Amino acid sequence: MPKVPWAGPDGPPPRRSGTPYHVPHAVLQTILGSVGGALEVAARAGGVLGAGLGHLARAAFASGMDLGLTVGACVAAAGCLVALLTLPSREPPDGKCPDDE
């Protein structure tokens, strides 16, 4: 098992249910700061812990991207509805535009 800065000589301590591994603040900030940071820490950690962290980072990125694209699509659809309801669909019956004098 590769050695990582926050693990003891025998690797990470056994995980009890509901308690996270101890991760130093600087490493945690790197993990939470960006997907690239999380993947870098995962690559350095290696083993099952690194593979799990890499998987979670990629899944979180895809989940966030999914939410962002959904919100963007809803905003675009709302804009289309506003344009459809507020813009005139044809010329006025008298053939003159409101700006013509």
7 vs 19 pLDDT, higher one: 7
pLDDT of residue 49: 87
11-63 pLDDT tens trace: 555 555 554 667 788 888 888 888 999 999 999 988 898 899 999 999 988 88
pTM: 0.53
pLDDT of residue 32: 85
Give me the amino acid identity at 74: C
83 vs 90 pLDDT, higher one: 83
47: number of Cβ within 10 Å? 14
Q: Classify each residue of 7-45 as buried b or exposed e, where b means 16 or more C-beta atoms within 10 Å of its C-beta.
A: beeeebeeeeeeeeeebeeebeebbeeeeeebbebbeeb
